[in-house]
Amino acid sequence: MSPGDQATTRDGAPLANRHAVVTGGGRGIGAAVAAELARLGADITIMGRDAETLRRRREALSGECGGQVFDVVVDVTDGAAVARAFEWADNMLGPVEILVNNAGAAASAPFARTDPELWRSMIEVNLTGPFLCCRAALPSMIERGWGRIVNIASTAGVTGYAYVSAYCAAKHGVVGLTRALARELARKGVTVNAVCPGYTDTDMAEAAVRNIVETTGRDEAAARAELVRSNPQGRLVDPAEVARTVGWLALPGTDAVTGQAVVVAGGEVMP
C-alpha cells in the first residue's frame, strides 16, 4: 500500500501524520495556508527570513491545532541554506510530503527603470526559490510515491500587468515550472499545481496601495479602489480563500489534478 492510500487520520483529519512545509509562512497567504493545512491535520514547518515573525506564528498555530509546528529561518534564494533547512525539517518531522512554495516579493517600476538588480531579485525570490525548494523536497516524495507541490504564483503568472515586468516574468516562470514538473512526475504519485491569486488582502496589497499613493498622488481610498477595480466582485481576495484552494489541492484523492494554474481572483482572469 502506498502512502497515498493509507487512511491514518488524527480525529478524521485527512492530512494527519503528513509533513507540510510552507515557505513565507509567517504572514499573509503563507500564514493562512499553514493554518489551513494544520486544520486538515498536517504537521507543519513554516519557513521564512524573519525569526520573530516565524516564532509568533508558530506559537499561535501550535495553540490552534493538534499537530506539531516548527519554524526555521531560511533565505529561499540560497541553495545551501535551503538544503540545510529541509534536512533539519526532515529530521524533526520526517520526510516532506506537501510543499507550498509561497515565499515571494513584488517590486514595481516602468520597464525603462527596471535595472538588472531589480530583475535578478524578482527572479531569484519568486522563481529560483521554488526551484531550490522543489529540488530539496522531491527526492523523498518520489521515493515514497506520494507528494503534493503547490506553487503560489499570481494572476501575474497568467496575464500581463504594466510596471511589473520582472514580477510577471518570474510568476510566468513559476507557472511554466509547475507545468513541466507535473508532466515529468505524472507517473510518480506527485502532483504539482499553481495557485494564482489576484490582489489579496495582505501586506503586499498594502504596499501596492502605498506605491500608488506615492507615484500618483491619489489618496489611500482612491488607491485601494484602483486595486479592487480589476476584480469583478469588487473586493480584495481573502487569504483564507487562497488557503482553502491550496488545502484542497493537497488532499488525498486529487491525484488527477496536476499541472493546473488555479486562479483565485473573483473572475478577473479566466485562463
Q: State the catalytic residues.
A: 167
32, 240 Cβ separation under 8 angstroms: yes
- The conformation of residue 236, written as its DSSP 8-state character, comes to P
Nearest CA among 9, 34, 31 for reference residue 20: 34
Nearest CA among 228, 153, 148 for reference residue 181: 148
**Rounded Cα gap, residues 168 and 204, in angstroms:** 15
User: Is the four-CA dihedral 25, 29, 246, 129 of positive or negative sign?
Assistant: negative
Sheet holding 19-23, edge to edge: 69-73, 43-48, 19-23, 98-101, 147-152, 190-197, 261-264
Q: Which residues of 40-52 are buried (b: 16+ CB within 10 A; e: fewer)?
A: bbbbbbbbbbeee
